[in-house]
Structure 1
């Protein structure tokens, strides 16, 4: 892994300086979330506690309900296949496809680009970040042993990888909540890596509970349960697992932020004629920037919102 100094002050110098020039001090719930992220690598809040305007969440709920109505047959077929052991993440349905089309006017982009969310991402990274993907996930309840991302792992996309999860239904212990080894993120200073196994066709190093407990004791594991409207922010460079629903499905919205220097391809299909909408601010323009460059000439500093 590249050094923190090189990553921050060489590979990401422009976004760091832009953030320092235009940033607004974090306050209230957003400041608490970033402080908790810095300390543990994961922080929980809610739509009601964090967002000044809940209307985007209402629009998200409406859009997802329509997705589910239109995909009723696909959902039924995927549910039937969820217990198959011979496929990749057969327990998961991504409603927007593997690589969603980036549409900044859609509620899925607008939710991620809300001022409170974007400033948490930028505040945690200490730079302007890029929105790399978003999606809506349904994890089907199954009786299978944990597999794939249901085992402990780290995400590879960047030095920090911030994912935001928004629960569209109640998520209890039997719904496969994200579980996070507190302090295992890059800011936490964990020195030991757990033992792991690798399976054919899977490049990731994955650990079971016993292997993880040998490095981070279970009392340091944070389980992200909560009612509808719960929001979870997690640096998924830290060890985490999730999605093993055993009693009831898990339904959530997900968005992901990295630095500009990430060498992984973004998770979107970016249209050839992609343009940013008028009336958005510089942080939002940076978040929508294309691979390796900033979109310029639109927006105004620290104003408005999506």
Structure 2
């Protein structure tokens, strides 16, 4: 249903689409499935009416895309019958001068993206004590280009370390085969980090380097304390430490963080019935939310049969 209202150009400008086209050039990505998968992800968010979504920094544009889709849907289907006519009647109730001002501010916002005009128009509406709540809502919806909110526009949630670097210096992604999994064996984690590329300038042990040119430094930025980071930065720039020495604190910190996670995971690995019960309960809650959303969406689109 969402695919019928989503312009092709919106999908083509999603950063991950362009990025993976470049980095996975050996694969044929000129397919409907690859182009359309961001919209499927948006549907997964919107169907549960999520207000906030925890994502990595690289996924922020995708949340913005999801907001655009929700906004367009609400604009197309969130209006009552005769909405524009009723909005025009509400404008007339403002009086001639204020009606003209409202129209000017609305044009400035909708055609020029003037946020100050939007704020001024909203304040103008709020000041009208003689207008009914229904008329105020119509004027707000007419101003903002919307109506009733059927699909929620979600906000993104970021952590201080919202972008995790992969083993090759790119973003960490299964598509690039550069990940460390949460349940990976300690010896495999150590092997992966020890073989990570480092600053190309450090050909020999005595060559100074720059941490900013080394993907291992990005791991230190996430996992190491200030004292360790100072030691790494000074040691790298002055060639006081080698790359293997630099990697060791990162290895130890990652293993330390993953240990309790893996211990908790082992409990569930040994208790498959508990996992099935948790999944079943969660699925039932999700189904109810999805059914409610689909009912509302089909109703406003006129396909509720």
TM-score by length of 2: 0.22
- Structure with the greater relative contact order (CA < 8 A, sep ≥ 6): 1 or 2? 1
Structure with max Cα Rg = 2
- Using the size of structure 1 for normalisation, the TM-score is 0.22
Higher strand share: 1
